[in-house]
Structure 1
Amino acid sequence: RVPKIDNTIEELGWKPGINMEAALRRIFEAYRGKVVEARTLVDSAN
């Protein structure tokens, strides 16, 4: 089940401060420097 943001806004009286595109950009930017580390973990698990 995927929660609908409209329901969250209505039920909690909360509203996101930024849009989805900006949120995703911030997430990707935050983890950009971790790519090599993550790939090493994945490769070592195989």
Structure 2
Amino acid sequence: MRKSRFTEAQIIGMIKEQEAGMPTAEVCRKHGLSQGTFYKYKSKYGGMEVPL
């Protein structure tokens, strides 16, 4: 299986941006991923916090 080009911390950061009010399309455009991939990440990493 291919390794993600984003770390867990980056993915969680993207989700936090979207939850803070930035439109999903804008988050995806900014980070260069599709909306389908974003929602897959959100289902997997949603509710998580960045480990210290």
What TM-score comes out, normalization by structure 1 length? 0.33
Higher share of residues assigned helix: 1
- Which protein has the larger Cα radius of gyration, Structure 1 or Structure 2? 1
- Highest RCO, 1 vs 2 (Cα 8 Å, sep ≥ 6): 2
